[in-house]
């Protein structure tokens, strides 16, 4: 009896982990790593605010994933024709209301973390936090879901790039600087590139269901160009940082990491069937993780 109960609990936990989409969480962790590295470079690193920023970013990402799972199912976007990772609501692994409650629970926990960050950083963090929570829901929910109107890419660039890196730096340094925003551009570009691959893969099914992502609006060729431009931006950021803000040369190595994205770029430029893009999604996520790790470590521990 105890063994069966334990097995059921583990099975349920695995489903919730699947629903949270852990492979996407690199987009939440990466900007905090870079923001913390920059704070260490400028000798303003504070571990507790940095960890709180990490927890808040991960919780908002999980909430966005769960809300996306629920609302895409409700709108009929996720169908059996969809190619890609399992969506737990569409697959019947969790009741829709449970997934929605999970999204609200993640947002609630993020708000608690945010309360501490407001104490640390004051009213600017309150404004940014409220906007982040609202946009996490508005990504696929509400009367004007961002993802359905071609604004998902901008959302990711802003909130998982500029806001996440700048916010992480702010709660430690008490200010947002131009170099923090520059670093955010690099991380945001690769985070957006992950979404671009995802939306390019789902372009046909999204178009049929009325989900007008930017990929649907640009078409296949335009989205291929967008992906290449995002890689170009990410590769340029560390070099600009070295030249303009005197970042350590070690941080500039991140440019080589981004420039080495030949494999996912080739897949994006040459695919003929959506399924062929599945490896590119993981490759782009790993590229972001390596880029953020090299950039963050180079900023923190490179020769100054």
In the chain, where the domains are located: 25-301
What pLDDT digit, counting tens, does each position of 166-200 carry? 999 999 999 999 999 999 999 999 999 999 999 99
Q: Which residues contact 132 (CB under 8 A, 6 or more apart)?
A: 60, 110, 159, 163
**Residue 228 · residue 234 · CB < 8 Å:** no
pLDDT higher than threshold 90 for residue 62 = yes
Quote the pLDDT of residue 81.
59
Alpha-carbon Rg for the chain, nearest whole angstrom, is 19
Q: If DSSP states are collapsed to H, E and C, what string results for 264-283?
A: HHHHHHHCCCHHHHHHHHHH
Q: Which residues contact 99 (CB under 8 A, 6 or more apart)?
A: 19, 66, 69, 70, 88, 89
Q: For the whole prediction, is pTM greater than 0.85?
A: yes
For 141-151, what is the mean pLDDT?
87
> In the structure, what pLDDT confidence band is assigned to residue 1 with cuts at 50, 70 and 90?
very low
**Residue 125 · residue 53 · CB < 8 Å:** no
pLDDT higher than threshold 70 for residue 84 = no
Q: How far apart are CA 15 and CA 29, in angstroms?
A: 22
Distances (CA, A) of 189 to 6, 96, 118, 205: 42, 32, 27, 25
**Residue 30 · residue 288 · CB < 8 Å:** yes
For 35-58, what is the mean pLDDT?
96
Q: How far apart are CA 296 and CA 273, in angstroms?
A: 36
| Residues across the chain | 304
């Amino acid at each position: 009896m105890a063994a069966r109960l334990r097995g059921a609990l583990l099975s349920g936990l695995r489903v919730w982990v699947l629903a949270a989409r852990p492979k996407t969480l690199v987009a939440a962790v990466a900007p905090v790593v870079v923001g913390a590295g920059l704070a260490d470079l400028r000798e303003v690193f504070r571990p507790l605010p940095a960890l709180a920023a990490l927890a808040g970013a991960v919780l908002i990402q999980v909430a966005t994933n769960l809300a996306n799972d629920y609302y895409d199912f409700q709108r009929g976007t996720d169908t059996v024709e969809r190619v890609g990772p399992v969506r737990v609501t569409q697959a019947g692994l969790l009741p829709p209301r449970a997934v929605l409650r999970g999204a609200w629970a993640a947002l609630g926990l993020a708000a608690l973390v945010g309360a501490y960050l407001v104490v640390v950083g004051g009213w600017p963090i309150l404004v940014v936090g409220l906007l982040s929570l609202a946009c996490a829901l508005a990504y696929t929910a509400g009367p004007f879901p961002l993802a359905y109107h071609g604004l998902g890419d901008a959302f990711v660039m802003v909130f998982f790039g500029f806001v996440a890196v700048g916010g992480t730096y702010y709660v430690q340094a008490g200010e947002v600087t131009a170099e923090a925003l520059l670093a955010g551009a690099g991380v945001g570009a690769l985070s957006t590139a992950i979404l671009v691959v995802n939306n390019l893969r789902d372009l046909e099914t999204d178009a049929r269901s009325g989900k007008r992502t930017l990929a649907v609006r640009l078409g296949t060729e335009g989205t291929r160009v967008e992906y290449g431009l995002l890689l170009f931006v990410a590769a340029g950021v560390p070099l600009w940082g070295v030249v303009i803000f005197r970042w350590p040369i070690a941080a500039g190595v991140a440019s080589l990491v981004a420039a080495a994205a030949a494999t996912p770029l080739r897949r994006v430029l040459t695919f003929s069937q959506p399924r062929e893009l599945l490896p590119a999604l993981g490759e782009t996520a790993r590229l972001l993780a390596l880029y953020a790790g090299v950039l963050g470590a180079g900023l923190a521990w490179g020769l100054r």
